[in-house]
Every structure is written in structure tokens, then in C-alpha cells.
Structure 1
Amino acid sequence: MERKIRLVTVGSTETVAQELLVVVREMFPHEIISSAMALKSVPDHSIADLFAALPTRVAEAAQKIPQKKIVTLELVPDALFYVAIAKIPANEDVIVFNNNTAQGQKIVEYCRENNVDHVNYIVVPYNEIPQQQVIESLSTAKYIIGADTIVGPGGHLMNKYASYLLKDVTIIPANRVATFESTKALMKAVYQVNYEHFASETREISQHLNDQIEQIVAAIEEVNASIETTSSTVDLVSTKMIEDTTKVASIVDISNVLFQATANIGNV
């Protein structure tokens, strides 16, 4: 029976992990069994063959998961995100709303790599600073950017801080997609694990067949030994019968001689 690879996407929160899961399932809709969970909720590494994490969470993941099981899955904003930010007037303050500083800074890095650096990026890591500080930053913000799962409809921003936002605030959510390199790395990791499973199953089948062959050979050797024993017994019996037949023939000859002698005496 074919064993499917188990893959768990992990993140600082389950929301981030779910975003990674969407990407994974687009790549492998049927070939693997996939799920998502916050990194802190992972009981131990035995629950999956592979774990996919953002680059900013790999080091943390390695504290409880073997490095060989971790695959870096980097998500970057699509082109529409950069185009929207490029339309913001120069020198405006732009809030980068994210649950942690590391990933917020990563979004800023992506923007600058794409030459969208005409505005002032201010990272607001809502899980790392007091709530009042978050509210103060958001209440005066004219522009807010971030991952779609966080600042988009149904995200943390609107669920918890909608009442504090300016009525004319511009929110730019990033639909994030996997980079080519991380896509290639994930595919390679999945196929490697799949190969290892196949090789293991092949070894098990080969060992099973080898055991059966050894049993058959042992049975044949036992039959051969039995045949040899039977053959030897038959030879002994045959030899004995020949000897007995010879003795009987000799007795018959002697009897004939005696009979003839007796007859001769009677004639005298």
C-alpha cells in the first residue's frame, strides 16, 4: 500500500501556517497529506515527514525539529502589491502591520529590493508591543500594508483594530507567492522523502522474498536429504533381497541334489 508523505506547515501563528498551507496544496493537491499549525503547537517531529516554514522561523523550528526535516518556503508579495505602494506619495509614512518584527522587516526588504523605497516604512509588530502602542500607530496611519492574511478582509487588523482606523485609510494587502528557489527546494524535499519511502519498501519486499527463497531452499534440501535416505534404504533392502534370493537358490540346489541322491539309493 502506498504511503503518502506527511507535511506540516508551521509559522509564528496558525494564520501564517495556513497561508503556507495554501501554497503547499497548490503545488501538491493530492500527492501528500498536509496540515498547518503554530510552531509552538508542534508536539514533536514524529507527526510529519517534512515541515515547511518561512525563512524567519527556520532557526526557531530547528530547536524542536531536525534540520533535515525542515524546508524553507519563502513567500514574497506579488507584483500588484509593489505597484500599489509605488502610487503612494513620496516620504509618506507606511505602517507595515505584522505579528512580529522579523517578518515585518522582511516585507520592507522585499519592497526595497523592488525599488519601492520612496516612502517611510514603520513596522508595527502587534504581538511584540503593548496593545496601546499598536492602537496609537494605527489610529493616525494613512497607509497600512502587510500580508493579506493579516491586513486583508477577515485578518487580524480588521477583526481587532477596525474601529481605531481612519475612515480614509488605504490598506494594501499582499497576496504572497512562493519564490522559484523555495518551490524547487520543496519539490526536491518531497521527492527525496518519497524516494526514501520507496527504497525502504523495496528493501522490505526484497528481504521478504529472500526469506521465502531461503525457506524454499531449506525445504528442498530437506526433501533431497529424505530422498537420499530413502534411496540408501532401498539399496540396502534390494541388496538384502538379492542375498536372500541367492541363499534360497542355493538351498533349492542342495535340496535337488539330496532328492536325486535319495532316489538313487532307492533304486539300489
Structure 2
Amino acid sequence: MASRKYNWPIDDLNGGNVGRHSGMGDRVYLFPSTVPEQGSIPALDPSSLAPRTSAVAKVWNAKKSAIIIAVVLVIALAAAGSGFTVLQRRDSSQMAFDACQQAITINQKSVTRLKKTVESTTSATQTAADAVADPQTIDNLKAAIDKVGDVKQAENSCSPDAEADQNLAADAAITEQTRALGSKNEAILDANDAVASSKARKDALNAKQALGDQLEQLQSVSTSSAVSSADLQTRKQYSDALNMTQQLLLSDQIMSAAIYQSASQQLQAAVDKVNQSALQQQQ
């Protein structure tokens, strides 16, 4: 193929110096044609000479970026999960230690309460056997107090540096001791209440007996001239007092000593009015 001279843009920039070299004659440079000529080989587009990124390379770069992002996310999530686990373990250990400390506080209060209970109920053990309806209640109270023995506080085995399981185990042991103290305290209080109830029943029986004896002594007054000589209102009050006393004594239900004592006072007041009215009638 014969040599051709092509008009490139650089020729327009260089003007008349196209193809010149200092110290050398005019030269003609041969470049591939960019201008299509009829019947010739298709012209070469200069832009086709620029380097291009293939579709495969683009896909690989996208996959590589996705893999890197995924790895970073996995590492970040793993770090966050590890930190959460550490915080969670620390929180559970602190909660177990706090619960153990609270168990110690409750135990100390239970020991103090039990000691006060023993002190306040000891006097009831000195109650005379004939002062209660059931003397066995006094013996039961003494036995309940004797079971207490030497009251001591639980050992403080809680540790802020220990694992949660260790403090939870200590908490359970301390709580068990506290429950035992509570059971002993309740047993003493129940036994003391039983003594008090037995004594109250004995007092009520004694008051009922005294009221019965009083009524029996007044039988002679009912047939005396004093009653017949008293005014009508006084005799009625006296009769009502006698009827109320009789009904109270005939009841199978044991009332309190205060009720029998009140009935006795009302009956005696009715008798006093009868005597006073009889004296007034004689004057």
C-alpha cells in the first residue's frame, strides 16, 4: 500500500512545523487513517485505542467490595456481641452480689427480732400452773424458747469479686438460715399466745364462778322484806338484773372475764337500790 499523508488535529496546532525536526529535513509521518475512504479498510476510531474495563472485571470488583463490607460487618457484630456478653455477665454478677448483701441485712434483722421475742416472752414462762386453764401451754412455751439456743448472725460470705453462681449459692444458704430463725420466732409467739389465751380462759371461768356464787347468795334477798317494801321501779330493775345474770350463767359459751365482772357489778347495784328504797319506805 502506498504511503498516505493524514491530517491529524496536531497538524493544525503545529502549523507549518508539521513533521519537522530540528537539524533534519521535512519528514512525513505515517499514521493509521481515521477518515474513511471509499473502498478502503474501515477507519480506526482513536477512542477505541483507550484502555477499557471489561464486564467481568466490573463484576469481580463489585463482588470484592461486597465481600469486604460483609467481613467488616461480621467483625463489628462479633465485637459488639462480645461486649454485650461481658456487660451482661458483669450485670448478673452485680445483681447476685446485691441480692446476697440484702439477704445478710434481712438475716441480721431476723436475729434482732428473735432476741427481742425471747426477752418479751420469758416472763410468761413464770406463770403459775393454776393461773391457766391448760398448764401444758406453759411447758410448750418453755420448749420453744429452749430451741432457740445461742442466736448468731449468718456469716457474710458475699463477695463483689465472686462469680454470680457463688453469690447466689451464698444468698440461698443465708436465706435458709433466716427462714429457720423466722420459724423459731413464730413458734415462740404462737406458744406465748396459747399461754395468754389459756390464762384468759381461766380468768373468765373464775369470774363466772364468782358471779354464780354471788347470785346464789342473793336468793335470800329476793324473799326478804326489803325487796317487797321497795318501790315498783326498783323491784323491776332488780328483777331484770337477776334474769340477765341467770341467762349469762346458763350459757355454754364462755365469755370474757370482763363481761362476768360487769354483770356482777350491775347485780350488786340493783341490790343496793333495793336496800336503799326499803330504808326510804320505812322512814
Q: Same fold per TM (> 0.5)?
A: no
Query: In terms of Rg, which structure is larger?
Result: 2
Scaled by the length of structure 2, what TM-score is found? Answer: 0.29
More helix by share: 2
